[in-house]
Each structure stands twice: as C-alpha cells, then as structure tokens.
Structure 1
Amino acid sequence: MEKNKGILLESGTNELEIVEFGIGTNKFGINVIKVKEIINPVAVIPVPHAHPNVEGIIELRGEVLPVINVATALGFPPSTNPAQDKFIVAEFNKQKIVFHVHSVTQIHRISWDQIEKPSDMYQGADSQIIGVVKLNGEMVLLLDFEKIVVDINPESGINIQQVQKLGQRERSNKKLVVAEDSPLLRKLLHDTLAEAGYHNVDFFENGRDALNYLENLVVNGKDITESVQLIITDIEMPQMDGHHLTKRVKDNPKLEKIPIIIFSSLITDDLRHKGQMVGAEAQVSKPDIAQLVLLIDEYIL
C-alpha cells in the first residue's frame, strides 16, 4: 500500500482510493492517504480513566500509539470474531492513531463525484459520516475520523483562543471563500475567522459548489480580484476535493490570481507536494487555526 500512496492526487484528478473495512455487517471506508499500514491486533495496554472509546495503548516500532475502538465510537456491538479483527494505523492532524476495526476487505479507486453528501435527515449535527458511496450494489460509509478523535480529545480540535492571542485586527472588508464539508468545522471556522476580524466569508460544502460560485462571478462580469480576496479549502470533500478545486482555479486565467490556502488534516511532509503541484499558495495542517489566520493576513494585505 505504501508504494501506491501519492499517485492519484498528484495532478488534482479528483480521484482517491479508499480502504473498505467492516464493523459488524456494516461497510465503512477510510482514505488510503490517511493509512500508514494495516496490522493484526496486538496486546493493548489499558490506560486508567481513559475515554470509553479508547481501548488503551500499544507500542509499534518504538512509538506509543493510542487505540480507538471504532465499534464503541459508533455505538455498535463488539466483534463476534476478535481473532479476525484488524488494526488500521492512521496519520492525520500531525498525529498517529490506531483504529480497531472488525475486518479489512479491499481497496477501491473512485472519484470524489461518486461520493454523495449525507442527507440532513440522517446526518444530524453529531454525525460521524462524511459521505456515502455506492459500490457493487452496496453502500460504503466514509467516516469522519477527525470528529471521532475530537470527540475523545476536544483539545485536538480548532481552538479559538489561538486566534484571540493574535490581537485585534480589522478585516471586515476582505471577502473569503471557504470550501469545507464538515458542518462542525464550518461553524468553528466561521467563529474563529470572525474573531480574527474576517466577517465577510462565504462557506460551501464542497469544491464543486465553491467553483460554481467563482465561475458565476466571472460569467456575470465581476472583477474577481475585487470580489474574492482569498480561498480556503479542505482536501477531502464529496463531489470535488480541494486539490482538484485548486487545479481548476489555477487553470482558469480569470481566477488564477486568487490566493488559495489548503487547510486540511492531510498536510504532512510526505503529502505537502500534492498541494504544491496544483498551485496552492500555502498549506496548513488542521487544527492550526492561528497559522491559518496569519497566512490569510499575509496573502490578502
């Protein structure tokens, strides 16, 4: 798996690979780009007073890593065949975490436009589902692993106090466009950007909606540099991911001058080159909101 990582999103192809795994009879998925390796279960050392979703810790090649029981986090029954369980070792938000699942079946190559946004009827504000993809007549649910981690450790999420320490600023006349699929993160970004003085922000649930908005400004004869000063985008989004959005903007002569900052849990030393190849001006790993605000200041002043 390691050898294939980094191929699909090099040029913003709007494709990804997902690892399909099972919890009970349900099928779920995780982006391959988050997965370091998949191993058989090893002995887990319980930690006193740990969060109920945390089984404990393991040592893997000299690193001590937390183990999250995904079934517990989702409110599902425990495994009926623990000997067949798997540990998915993942890395995002500058941390490594082990996710205990019941099975790992296969890898699928798909396009982001195959991924449907969860319906508001069953998603809800506390949903851990970020997308639904139909494969071979079945539905695979893409989990919001960042939310699973933040539910356990809220301090690992966006912290508005980081922005408050930057001091007062007046930026209300600056127009920002934000593409972010998570309702929770859209709310957090709205609040923290407002705290930083950025009150004129349009939010979109995916890259396609953001691109349509930008292209419509051009069609309607708007001066794009006057209408939008900067774009912030996540990477993982249904319909159109942030890399493809960035590529489409930079390939459009009437949009290319807009600075783009990629704000994602997938910004690591190994993956940073992906955003560079599609033309992003800057990249910030979630949840470093203070660094994001400083970069916004830099690129729009």
Structure 2
Amino acid sequence: MKNDKGILLESGTNELEIVEFSIGDNKFGINVIKVKEIINPVSIIQIPHSHPNVEGIMELRGEVLPVVNLAKSLGFAPSYTPEKDKFIVSEFNKMKIIFHVHNVSQIHRISWEDIEKPSDMYQGSDSQIIGVIKLNGEMILLLDFEKIVVEINPNSGINIQQVKKLGRRERSYKRLVVVEDSPLLRKLLLDTLTEAGFNQIELFENGLEALNFLQKTTIEGRRVEDVVDLIITDIEMPQMDGHHFTKRIKEDAALAHLPVVIFSSLITDDLRHKGQRVGADAQASKPEIAELIQLIDGLIG
C-alpha cells in the first residue's frame, strides 16, 4: 500500500487521508484514522446463528475480534480474486472490528471540500454512502461504517435507554445546533435529545451548512446567542469536517463564545488532542449519548 503523504498530524485543516479499497470493481474509502492495520486473511471461527454479514471471529494479538464481510454488507458478489483479499483492522465507536475487503490499493490525502454529498436521487434512506470522491477520473465512495455496524448490532448505536436513565430535567429552553451527516444518526440524535427534554434543535448535514447559518444570523443583525446556546458536531462530514468547523467558530469573534461539543466515533485518548487544538469545549465518543447530555448540562446548565 502506497502512502506518499504521511499520516495527518495537523488539526482543523479540513483534510483527511483515506485508504482506498475495492469490492469487486467498485472503489471505496475509509478514513485512515479508523484503520489500525491491514493484514492478509487468516482462518476464522464461524459463530452459529450470527448475523449473516459476520463471517466469524479471529484472535489478533490476544484480542478476539469480529470479521465483517463487507461485500455481503453492501450487497455485492463474493471476491473473484480471493488471493488479493485483505482484512482491514479498524477501531471506532470504542470498538475494534475487522472488515473483509477484496483489495487495498493506496492512501489519498484529500480535502473534505472535494467530497460531494450523495444525491437523494440515488442515496435512499438505507444508503451506506456518506460521500462521493472524484479522483483521477474515477469515483471513490466513502462508506458510513457506523451505519454498517449498527445494522449488524443495533446496541452499538445511540441508545435512547441511556437517556431515560438520566431522568427528566427542564431543558426545553436550551437551543442546540446539531451537525451530523449520517441520516440515521441525525434521526437517532434528534429522538434521543428530544427524549432528554430538548425541543429547540436545528439540524445540519455538514459544517459548511451550519457555519453559513450561524454567520447569516450575525449578518442579519441578530445576536447569535438569541438563536443558539450550544453546538454539537460530528467530525467526518463532506464539505467541512467538524474540526475545521470548530476552528472557524472559535476564530470568529461573533461566534467564539459558543460552546462546541464534538460527538464522534473518532474520539479516543490518542486523538482527543485534535479537538482540543481547535478549541472544542468538550468531546464525547459515540454512542455515549448520556455522556453527551451531561456535557451539555455542564456547559449550559
């Protein structure tokens, strides 16, 4: 696997590196940050009555990890060149998962501005695509790995029961801006935040849309604090990612006072410094919705 650029060390550049891989003749991408390593396939143990997209489990350096057949998850045929198959060992949402793919080619460094949002014409509500990258005359599809995992194990996603355990609290006057590109997670966030008592929520699909909304508010002469009390943002989003979005807010004198909470599958001990560098007031890892709500209460209680 070729990597000419090196792993991104900066924060807030609105750039990312993706590992390009293939399923059949189709090219896909996964954020390098989610990838721990890439290995050749090894023997796995099948689990009776497991989800059809789960091939089984394998041991890797003392850890027992599930192996997900990505071709089956996406509805594609099995590999016709199994000798080229690879296992992508990934970590996100506080989980380690191995994805079985047909080939891995190279790493690309690109800007989130160059990633197009999927069109409603072909995306559909069940789509697992969060972005389309046009590169060297080809298209690379950026996958929603969180959705793929939640479809296998719904308990790995945002759980409204966590919110109910917190108990009721008056939150209806608090105004939130929520920035999340995944349709599935936007709905889950809306449902769980509503259950927690928030009923003034503005939803946006990426940082650029949300930033335009906030800046338009100030241009129109309204006080931004009359429109929003706190911002919740994902990291991985087409057009403008959450780190760059946070940086732009904190560099804008009219917006800098707004608390920003980053809520992402990429929040780990090793990567938390990226959010801190761009000025995030707090960070929580998906799917810990109860922790997110407690952070909100602490910032605008």
Q: Return the TM-score normalized by structure 2.
A: 0.97
By how many angstroms is 1:247 displaced? 0.1
Aligned partners of 1:158 and 1:188 also within 8 Å: yes
Cα deviation 1:54-80 (Å, max 9, x = unaligned):
000111111111000000101100001
The aligned residue for residue 93 of structure 2 is 93
By how many angstroms is 1:124 displaced? 0.9
Distance in 1 between residues matched to 2:116 and 2:236, nearest whole Å:
13
The aligned residue for residue 146 of structure 2 is 146
Aligned residue pairs total 298
Aligned: 1:287 with 2:287: yes
Superposed, which structure 2 residues align to 1:226-241 within 5 Å? 226-241=226-241
Distance in 1 between residues matched to 2:187 and 2:49, nearest whole Å:
30
Superposed, which structure 2 residues align to 1:114-263 within 5 Å? 114-263=114-263
Distance in 1 between residues matched to 2:8 and 2:17, nearest whole Å:
10
By how many angstroms is 1:173 displaced? 1.4
Distance in 1 between residues matched to 2:296 and 2:230, nearest whole Å:
7
> Secondary structure of 2:172's partner?
coil
By how many angstroms is 1:32 displaced? 0.5
Distance in 1 between residues matched to 2:65 and 2:8, nearest whole Å:
24
Query: Runs of 5+ in structure 2 lacking a partner?
Result: none
> Secondary structure of 2:216's partner?
helix
Query: Runs of 5+ in structure 1 lacking a partner?
Result: none
Distance in 1 between residues matched to 2:119 and 2:299, nearest whole Å:
36
By how many angstroms is 1:193 displaced? 0.6
Aligned partners of 2:19 and 2:29 also within 8 Å: yes
Q: Give the share of equivalent positions with the same residue, in percent.
A: 72
> Secondary structure of 1:292's partner?
helix
Distance in 2 between residues matched to 1:55 and 1:264, nearest whole Å:
27
> Secondary structure of 2:214's partner?
helix
Cα deviation 1:93-145 (Å, max 9, x = unaligned):
00100000000011111000100011111111110001000010010000111
> Secondary structure of 2:166's partner?
coil
> Secondary structure of 1:113's partner?
helix
Q: Which amino acid aligns with 1:277?
A: R
Distance in 1 between residues matched to 2:8 and 2:284, nearest whole Å:
18
Q: Return the TM-score normalized by structure 1.
A: 0.97
Superposed, which structure 2 residues align to 1:32-111 within 5 Å? 32-111=32-111
Distance in 1 between residues matched to 2:293 and 2:226, nearest whole Å:
20
> Secondary structure of 1:165's partner?
helix
The aligned residue for residue 298 of structure 2 is 298
Aligned partners of 1:6 and 1:271 also within 8 Å: no
Aligned partners of 2:8 and 2:17 also within 8 Å: no
Q: Which amino acid aligns with 1:205?
A: E
What is the Cα-based RMSD across aligned positions, in Å? 1.1
Distance in 2 between residues matched to 1:69 and 1:101, nearest whole Å:
7
By how many angstroms is 1:171 displaced? 1.4
Distance in 1 between residues matched to 2:127 and 2:227, nearest whole Å:
34
By how many angstroms is 1:222 displaced? 1.5
Aligned partners of 1:225 and 1:257 also within 8 Å: no
